[in-house]
Amino acid sequence: MSSENIDTRTRILEATLKTLEESGGRGVRMGDIAKATGISRQALYLHFKSRTELLIAATHYRDDLLDIEGRLAPSRAAKTGVERLRLYIEFWGHFVPEIYSVGKALMSVEDTDKDAAAAWHDRMWAMRDGCRAVIDALHQDGALAEPWTRSKATEALWTMLLVPNWEHLTMECGWSTNQYIKWMTTLAQQSFVAREIIDSE
């Protein structure tokens, strides 16, 4: 682990992200990444034991660059549950486009690769934690709409925010990030916030 070593590793990760972004996370081979890094395909295996491990490392690398904690701060500091919901969806709406390509690459080997499935699953459960916190905040305010239990509401919000929904609305339907955020926010408020509370805002 000399500094040379770390440097090449970083260059690989940078090249991986760049290549994935250029291709929308589709059809990127080890040879492509090697070429983009400017090293031989085999050298990739000196740093990462498999394609999946490289993809996972690239995901973590990207996370580190993105200051997730800092971006989550506003929603965590929200004074009401409704505010927290709004800010969380706003965070998510800006976050997804930045992790989409790497995520897509990971998702598309999910079926054949246990490690990739587990890594993606982890991320999705972290997102679920955010959803749970939002729902808990609503519940604390007495603002969780009627038939919902906290766990069912968490699952429902979690589902609404799934990446394929974002993918479909933006890629297939051409919605902007702001349209996405606006609709998801409205939808979530209508679903999860008691009507008295919405009316009184």
Question: Which residues in this chain contact a copy of itself in the complex, by CB under 8 A?
Answer: 26-27, 108, 111-112, 155-156, 158-160, 162, 164-165, 168-169, 173, 175, 183, 186-187, 190-191
Our finding on whether 8 is near DNA (CB under 7 A) is yes
Q: Least distance to a copy of itself from the beta carbon of 164, Å?
A: 4
With contact defined as beta carbons under 8 Å apart, do 41 and 50 qualify? no
Binding-site member from 50, 80, 108, 179 for DNA (CB under 7 A): 50
Our finding on whether 168 is near DNA (CB under 7 A) is no
Binding-site member from 24, 45, 74, 141 for DNA (CB under 7 A): 45
Binding-site member from 10, 26, 49, 77 for DNA (CB under 7 A): 49
Catalog residues that contact DNA under the rule CB under 7 A.
Answer: 1-2, 4-5, 8, 29-31, 38-43, 45-47, 49-52
